Amino acid sequence: MNKLNKKRISQIIKKLESNFGSFSNKKVGILGLACKQGTDDVRESPAIKVIEILKKKKAKITAYDPLAIENAKRVLSDVAFAKNSYEVAKDADCLLVLADWPEFGKLDYGKIKKLMKVILFLIVEIF
């Protein structure tokens, strides 16, 4: 993983901590698991690193990716995998978009806002 991605991961965690304080029992939705759009490859995926950090901080993770769910299941435990982006948003305290899949840009964010438990923070970071 390159230095830029490591810095971005650190920035994401700091932003979340400044809004949440504690991650304990917070539901964090993750959109995008692959290292880049158009692939199911999760090796060196920044999203996987973010998930691992959040899990250590006791966050509950629900994730979705158009292609990479099966590969992500091989490297992640204690993560719920959703069937679509809207299912990830349901009852989430926070939603992170961590890959530049075109379908994530076409989501109905009004609908997502209604599905989320509380909008404490909505962050979009493209790796």
> Which domain, by its residues, includes 62?
3-124
pLDDT at residue number 63:
98
Q: What is the pTM of this model?
A: 0.89
* Inter-residue contact 104 to 29 (CB < 8 Å): no
Number of folded domains that form the chain: 1
Residue in this structure with the two tokens 């530049």, named with its chain if needed: 100
Question: Percent of the chain beyond pLDDT 90?
Answer: 60
**Which CATH number do you get for residue 30?**
3.40.50.720
**DSSP states along 67-93:** TTHHHHHHH--SEEE-SSHHHHHTT-S
Residues 14-69: tens digit of each pLDDT? 888 888 788 888 999 999 999 888 999 999 899 999 999 999 999 999 999 999 99
pLDDT of residue 54: 94
